Amino acid sequence: MNSLYDFHTHTTLSDGEMLPIELVRRMSVLGYSAVGITDHADTSNTVSLIESLIKIRESAALYGVRLLCGIEITHVPPQQIQGLARLAKSSGADLVVVHGETPVEPVAPGTNHAACTCGDVDILAHPGFITIDDAREAENHGVALELTSRGGHNRTNGHVARIAVEAGCMMVVDSDAHAPHDLLPAESKVTIARGAGLTWEQAEKVMSLNIEDLLKK
């Protein structure tokens, strides 16, 4: 299934400004048919976040949105990422995102590698100066690398895109939205992809991602 997607958003369940269903409604008006809500998670709240999101799947469907219930594993020690991702999937998560080694936050070294080598992780968000070796691990394990519109995190989009192309791994363009003004019209997603250095053909491939290819694990 091809659709306008955003796999990385936040709500009042963590540090976002919108209730989950408000975010879904606003996304539906912008033309999105697949939305991942991925609030910040650690060992204290992973299961409760997923249980909360599952409750609004029907509401999202009534707005024509396929809700992907997920989490963003955030500032968790790298040694715990694999176990927490496995717990999330076993608890019903559709989507596991890991908060990558962005240059603007003190994410623990080794987080990118732990995410890229974990079969239960779907997306490595804003992975900063990711190495080609880790990108190749991401390709081997079906982990997509994210190009983001989020201020600060987006400083290394060009590097991420170049490394992802070299490694042949999947890419996604996400908003990392926390507030209504963070949500992206379709044309803004194209601008992010092109601004990261992708060709029109490469940008189109990212924009027309078959969601099932990402979730088939």
For residue 2, pLDDT over 80 is answered with no
The whole-number pLDDT of residue 217 equals: 62
**pLDDT over 80 at 1, yes or no:** no
Residue 173 sits in a domain of what CATH number? 3.20.20.140
Q: List pLDDT tens digits, range 94-103.
A: 999 999 999 9
CA distance to 24, 141, 188, 211, per residue, from 65 (Å): 7, 28, 20, 13
- The pLDDT of residue 166 is above 60: yes
- Kindly report, residue by residue over 36-58, the tens digit of the pLDDT: 999 999 999 999 999 999 999 99
Q: Per the structure, how many domains does the chain have?
A: 1
**Which domain, by its residues, includes 94?**
5-215
C-beta pairs of 61-64 under 8 Å, 24+ apart in sequence: 63/24, 63/25, 63/28, 64/28, 64/33
Write out pLDDT tens, residues 65-90.
999 999 999 999 999 999 999 999 99
Give Cα separations from 117 to 67, 132, 197 (angstroms).
26, 13, 26
